[in-house]
Amino acid sequence: MCLKAALFEMKEALTNQSNKQVTDEFIQNLETKNDLSPGTLVYYFNHLFMFYQKGSKSTLEEGKKINRKWSKSEIDFMFQYILDRQAEGCLNITEILDEIGQLLNRGYQSVNYKYYSLVKAQEKQETKSGNQYHFTTIQRPEIPVVSTEVIRDIPEPSQEINNQTQPEDLLDILSGLITNVQQLPGIQLNNLLGSLYQLTNLALQNQQVVEQVEAIKSESQLEMVNLKNKLMDKEKQLLMEKKRNDDLQMEVAKLAKEITAFNKLGDAAKIQNLKSYNQRLNYIIDNFGIVLQVGS
């Protein structure tokens, strides 16, 4: 038996009716060709025919990209196909869900999430009520749950974790820990607590080292700032001394020019201006009030 091959050939015929008309004879030939019981494909034909008649070809091609709402017909189709495929001997639920996605033009993740969410909802309802396993939207008393792969993308309910009783007192937590450890074979409570104590000591030592390193960094940064400020002060002082030296050189240059001019005067002119030149030659007073004696 090969239900998969028969349905994929039926899908191709339904989506390309211009090339081949799907008739009762065509369905019977598919059943005979794939060694299926008479009437097996009628159920699937009705679902697929209604599904493919709802939209155009372009809609079907883009079906995997559109977040379509699941219909009851699609859900019935999915679980009936799972039952029949597992009856044939295919126990890989991942492979079966992928085939359903291709037949219904849906993505694998969509089919996977829908399947497991329905199964988990039914399991939760069964736990509360204690009734026999039953889906309200599926006319089947049983649902296969054989799986060979764990899908991590399936959202897990978080309320169960939050609703669990958590000890609020630290003493209760420690008491429970000690009790549990004592019941575990091969684990010595003293060794376990000693190891935890050593780990906490190492953690504290590491924290102290980190704090010391941070303190050293802070001191180094502060020292660098102080050195930088001192260097800036020295640079300012050097600029001031350079300016004073430049001003003094200018005064000396002026005095040299006056001496040259005095020497060029005649004897009578020298005698007339000798007193004033003599005073100017004796002292040079710079801009900072320092008196420099250059002659007598």
What is the chain's pLDDT, residue by residue, as a tens digit (296 residues)? 688 888 898 888 888 764 456 788 888 888 888 888 888 888 888 888 887 776 544 444 544 445 678 889 999 999 999 999 898 888 899 999 999 999 998 888 889 999 999 999 888 887 777 555 444 444 444 445 444 444 455 455 444 444 444 445 676 677 677 777 777 777 777 877 888 888 898 898 888 899 989 899 898 899 999 999 999 999 999 999 999 888 888 877 877 887 787 788 777 777 777 777 776 666 655 444 555 555 44
**For residues 117 and 161, is the Cβ–Cβ distance under 8 A?**
no
Decide if 270 contacts 262 (C-beta within 8 A): yes
Measured between alpha carbons, how far is residue 120 from residues 75, 123, 138, 154 in Å?
A: 15, 5, 15, 11
For residue 290, give the H/E element and its range: none
- Under 8 Å between Cβ of 180 and 192: no
